[in-house]
Amino acid sequence: MSEVTEGYMDGLSDDRSDLPATLANRSDEYRHGWQNGRDDRLKRPRASAARIRADIAQIRANNTSSKGADG
């Protein structure tokens, strides 16, 4: 299961409205998924679909470039 999917499933089943501080140790992809799951659960998107797609594209681009820097 991808980090985004895992986060989505957790956000969908969580009862909190705000991203918990305890998830600060999780990846950006996981937190993005959690927010998407929460948004779907609350039926209240935080941004347009285009903005959310751009956000995950940027997260993935950052992850790819940082992995390349590690060697």
Average pLDDT taken over every residue of the chain: 93
SS (H, E, C) the chain: CCHHHHHHHHHHHCCCCCCCHHHHHCCHHHHHHHHHHHHHHHCCCCCCHHHHHHHHHHHHHHHHHHHHHCC
CA angle (23 as vertex; 68, 59 as ends), nearest 5: 30
- Residue spans per domain, the chain: 3-69
In the prediction, which pLDDT does 69 show? 57
% of the chain with per-residue pLDDT over 90: 86
In the prediction, which pLDDT does 17 show? 95
Residue 69: what are its φ and ψ, rounded to 5°?
A: -75, -25
pLDDT in tens, 19-44: 999 999 999 999 999 999 999 999 99
pTM of the model: 0.88
Reported as a pLDDT band with limits 50, 70 and 90, residue 59 is very high
